[in-house]
Amino acid sequence: MGADRTEDFNPGKFLESLTRSCGVYRMLDGKNAVLYVGKAKNLRRRVASYFGSRSHQPRIQKLMNRTRRVEVTVTETEQEALLLECNLIKRHKPRFNIYLRDDKSYPYIYATTRDPFPRFAFHRGARRGKGRYLGPYSNAAAVRSALGQAQKLFRIRLCEDSYFRYRERPCLQYQLDRCTAPCVGLVSEEEYAADASQALLFLEGKNEAVLEDLLGRMERAAEELDYERAALLRDRVAALQRIQASQSVAGGAARDLDVVAVAESGGVFCVAVLWIRRGTLTGSRLFFPRVVPGVESGEVLGAFISQHYFERGAPREVISGGPVSRRDLLESALGMQSGHRVAVRWNVRGWRRRWVELARRNADAGALQQAAGARGLASQLKALARELRLMRPPERIECFDISHTGGESPVASCVVFSPEGASRSEYRRFNIRGADSGDDYGAISEAVRRRYGRLVREESPLPELLLIDGGRGQLNAARAELEALGLSSMPVAAVAKGFGRREGRERIYMPDLARPLIPGSGSAALKLIARIRDEAHRFALEGHRRRRHGARKSSVLEEVPGLGPKRRRQLLRHFGGLRGVEAAPVEDLRKLPGIGPELAQRIYGALH
């Protein structure tokens, strides 16, 4: 049903024809924006409860005042309904749902186990490569720590394939006794495979199996009178035993589980997750879901567990800090998604209860800290609205910046801020291709055109304030693109550094003001603008350095599995260089001799 038919919606007739099957329902407003997504065992009964004569909670009444239409999707099972609900919440981010704002995906360790000499590397993002993914880990530091320990113990290689293939002599890692130099043939495939296998077991937390294997290899080396090899293995055993001694295990129970607890302070909810692997606390993380007023902690907990494990999969046991409604349905859906049985428990005892108390303390501290920050941010947003003469404090702010070195490898960044702070999962970078070298105005034009052209096509949320890092020229370039897209009403401002590029002297250019605003160093509005601008600068600079390093040091094509030197030369010659290859769609890549559908997709994925 389209937006032009919202006036025809009749709740009575709709409910009469509504099925009693299980499924998912969506509440939409007059502009067809999704306000709320819910699941139901009986769709007619559940949806009818919203339109009944009984009084509703304030948040439900507010939802119904804005609802102009209801859509439903029938599913075969309740488990399918739960999974669809999670998917739709993640896609539409409805205002009246509890929504988990996850800033980024978890990092993993990626092992190229199909290579003769497997590489172990940090990985974040889609897991499309052929090999083993170990994790997830709570943060990047945990991954690097684990990789460092594995490298010291088992002397595995961490270097890039482009570096590994062309070595003619061992690198510094070999001299530091952290690698066996497989790049120059100083170790056989069999010996390296044994070390890599032990490293995999170690990273999976199976230290006892590693110790047993090391002791067996040490005894065999001693029997063969290879005392140097036996001494090396003895040192590894001692190092591994020291690592084990430094790790705390709860009650000696070598189990894999997650512990989830929630706390609230000043309307801010914090969910703490502890990762327990093989009985050891391996990491933790705090989440701050977006909620509407009037939501209870139990609702937040249930929504978090279903959304959090929807894509990642759940361990075999999840301990909750409080009751979760419809536990049987949740366990069934998580088991279906994870590929193994999942138990959700609360009201636990013994060592499990100690983990729950620890998670609650983390959640309490996180909620208090976040609530204090939210109060400060709210006051800054009000000051910003006054300073820039906006109708109300903006709910969504986007900021652009351009980074390049003398016109080389220009990258534009777009960062997003909301009343909850930085929305890092919505950050975007744009590799500038159309603008001339060093043309900041052209780069801003291209980035704004690509960003908001897509948002308009997809009917995605637009910012209530657009900030540009620059002066009057950058402001005019951005405004011209917005007007071409029919977005001339979008508030936009440019922030330029003041005299001497010192903080607190920034000038703010507005379209309808001939002279720039100079709020001064004590302005709360300027502090927020500077914070957002600095974040955009950091994000752009990080992308520029990565792009510049890739262009200077090695071609991205060298890292594509199955693409050898001959085909790389063929690609670059056919498309006139790397930029031409980047611009080519998968269909054009497939037309070249020797490049099939799978390889073409890998090439395209590596460049985008």
pLDDT at 207: 73
146-150, 152-156, 392-396, 581-585: range with lowest mean pLDDT: 581-585
Cβ 53 vs Cβ 81: under 8 Å: no
Torsion sign over Cα 95, 99, 101, 102: negative
pLDDT at 8: 63
pLDDT at 104 over 80: no
What percent of the chain has pLDDT above 90?
Answer: 27
Cβ 340 vs Cβ 355: under 8 Å: no
d(CA 84, CA 73): 9
pLDDT at 180 over 80: yes
pLDDT at 250: 45
11-15, 421-425, 537-541, 554-558: which has the highest mean pLDDT? 537-541
- The amino acid sitting at 424 is R
Confidence of residue 578 (pLDDT cuts 50, 70, 90): confident
pLDDT at 259 over 90: yes
pLDDT at 555: 59
What value does the CA radius of gyration of the chain take, rounded to a whole number of Å?
28
pLDDT at 6: 44
What token pair was written down for 487? 């977005």
Angle between the N-to-C axes of helices 207-223 and 189-203, in degrees from 0 to 180, rounded to the nearest 10: 150
Mean pLDDT computed over 139-157: 86
Other CB atoms within a 10 A radius of the CB of residue 301 amount to 24
Tokens 């998917």 belong to which residue?
87
C-alpha distances in angstroms, 150 versus 193, 196, 204, 243, 306? 14, 9, 11, 11, 34
- Helix (H) or strand (E) holding 123, with range, is strand 120-124
pLDDT at 553: 44
Mean pLDDT computed over 551-562: 68
* Model pLDDT for residues 158-170, shown as the tens digit of each residue: 998 878 887 888 8
d(CA 515, CA 472): 10
pLDDT at 252: 44
What token pair was written down for 482? 């917005």
d(CA 392, CA 284): 37
Residue among 248, 250, 272 nearest 261 (CA)? 272
**Higher-scoring residue by pLDDT: 231, 243:** 231
pLDDT at 542: 92
C-alpha distances in angstroms, 509 versus 465, 512, 569? 13, 9, 48
Confidence of residue 550 (pLDDT cuts 50, 70, 90): low
* Model pLDDT for residues 522-535, shown as the tens digit of each residue: 888 998 999 999 99
Residue 69: Cβ-neighbour burial (10 angstroms; 0-12, 13-18, 19+): buried
pLDDT at 339 over 90: no
Cβ 280 vs Cβ 248: under 8 Å: yes
pLDDT at 563 over 70: yes
pLDDT at 411: 93
Going from the N-terminus, what domains does the chain have, and what CATH number goes with each?
3-77 (3.40.1440.10), 107-246 (no CATH), 257-371 (3.30.420), 397-540 (3.30.420.340), 555-607 (1.10.150.20)
**Higher-scoring residue by pLDDT: 358, 105:** 358
**Higher-scoring residue by pLDDT: 30, 100:** 30
pLDDT at 79 over 90: no
pLDDT at 534: 92
pLDDT at 425 over 80: yes
Other CB atoms within a 10 A radius of the CB of residue 331 amount to 19
pLDDT at 254: 60
pLDDT at 251: 45
* Model pLDDT for residues 292-338, shown as the tens digit of each residue: 777 888 888 888 888 888 777 788 899 999 888 778 888 888 888 88
Torsion sign over Cα 574, 579, 581, 584: negative
Give one DSSP letter per residue of 31-69, joined into a string: T--EEEEEEESSHHHHHHHHHSSS---HHHHHHHHH--E
Torsion angles phi and psi, residue 488, rounded to 5? -65, -20
Residue 407: Cβ-neighbour burial (10 angstroms; 0-12, 13-18, 19+): middle
d(CA 468, CA 481): 13
Residue among 415, 412, 361 nearest 528 (CA)? 415
Confidence of residue 551 (pLDDT cuts 50, 70, 90): low
Residue among 580, 569, 578, 116 nearest 595 (CA)? 569
pLDDT at 249 over 60: no
pLDDT at 247 over 70: no
pLDDT at 279: 73
CA 160 to chain centre: 24
Mean pLDDT computed over 133-152: 82
